[in-house]
Amino acid sequence: MIRSIVFASNNKGKVKETKAVLQSESVKVLTLSDLGLVLVPDETGTTFEENATIKATEVAALLKENGHSDFMVIADDSGIEIDAMGKKPGVDSANFLGTETPFVIRNAKILEMLEHTEERTARFVSVIACALPCGETILTRATIEGVISHEQKGENGFGYDPIFFLPELGKMMAELSDNEKNKISHRGKSLEKMVEALRKKGLLS
Ligand code: IMP
């Protein structure tokens, strides 16, 4: 049975959400920095699946080199697909307008680009890759549909949450509490699917 999972991410928002979703499982979630290691994998893939696999397998290899060959590694590759922008920024969501540009500016740019369009449908996508100690990699994917708003609203979450409106809840993603977001979000659902897959393999209780 696995007792510790390494979550391969430097994104504070993702780490917080992942730890919260997995807290009820009988595993401890660690990050590379908890182990005194650093790695920023080159996301050279063209799909969420490819990039999630790169992150999980590169981190698993680094752990092996450092004598931690028994860890299971999970990685999330995620992003927002905006239909009026041809599903962009998609896999490039982290780099849209540059990684150093504050999200308030990136979100303002998207609202400006969509100013004259009625087509506002969008979705968040999350693919979780899990690199198992045996060398196998498992993938899960989940999405959440929403609508790009006309203004930024809400203080919670991170990234594109302040422009992502959830019609069924009548709220922005950034207006949900951590708990509410994790229950419905792309990442929450994708992680739940991964927990289920690992249970089926007998790797989680
Ligand atoms: P990556 O998976 O490291 O390539 O980065 C994913 C990027 O997508 C993040 O940096 C955010 O910009 C965006 N993103 C992913 N998930 C969320 C979310 O739950 N809310 C808001 N933005 C997100």
The tens digit of pLDDT for each residue in 136-176 reads 999 999 999 999 999 999 999 999 999 999 999 999 999 99
Ligand 1 geometric centre to CA of 203 (Å): 28
Q: Which of 13-27, 87-101, 181-195 has the lowest mean pLDDT?
A: 13-27
Whether the Cβ atoms of residue 185 and residue 159 lie closer than 8 Å to each other:
no
Mutate to test the pocket of ligand 1, among 39, 80, 178 (most ligand atoms within 8 A of CB): 80
Which two tokens mark 21? 């979703």
The tens digit of pLDDT for each residue in 76-105 reads 999 999 999 999 999 999 999 999 999 999
Contacts of residue 22, Cβ cutoff 8 Å, sequence gap at least 6: 5, 29, 191, 195
Looking at ligand 1, which residue's alpha carbon is closest to its atom 9?
94
3-state secondary structure the chain: CCCEEEECCCCHHHHHHHHHHHCCCCCEEECHHHHCCCCCCCCCCCCHHHHHHHHHHHHHHHHHHCCCCCCEEEEEEEEEEEHHHCCEEHHHCCCCCCCCCCHHHHHHHHHHHCCCCCCCEEEEEEEEEEECCCCCEEEEEEEEEEEECCCCCCCCCCCCHHHEEECCCCEEHHHCCHHHHHHHCHHHHHHHHHHHHHHHCCCCC
* pLDDT of amino acid 1: 66
Confidence band, pLDDT 50/70/90 cuts, at residue 25: confident
Average pLDDT over residues 24-32: 89
The percentage of residues in the chain with a pLDDT greater than 90, rounded to a whole number, is 90
The tens digit of pLDDT for each residue in 102-132 reads 999 999 999 999 999 999 999 999 999 999 9
Confidence band, pLDDT 50/70/90 cuts, at residue 33: very high
Confidence band, pLDDT 50/70/90 cuts, at residue 133: confident
* Tokens 């979705």 found at: 123
Nearest atom in ligand 1 to 76's CA: 2
133 compared with 180, residue with greater pLDDT: 180
Catalytic (active site) residue 83: no
The amino acid that residue 52 corresponds to is: A
Average pLDDT over residues 185-200: 97
188 lines ligand 1 (CB under 6 A): no
79 lines ligand 1 (CB under 6 A): yes
Average pLDDT over residues 176-188: 97
pTM strictly above 0.85: yes
* Tokens 């490039």 found at: 92
* pLDDT of amino acid 2: 66
Looking at ligand 1, which residue's alpha carbon is closest to its atom 2?
77
89 lines ligand 1 (CB under 6 A): no
Q: How many other C-beta atoms lie within 10 A of the C-beta of residue 36?
A: 7
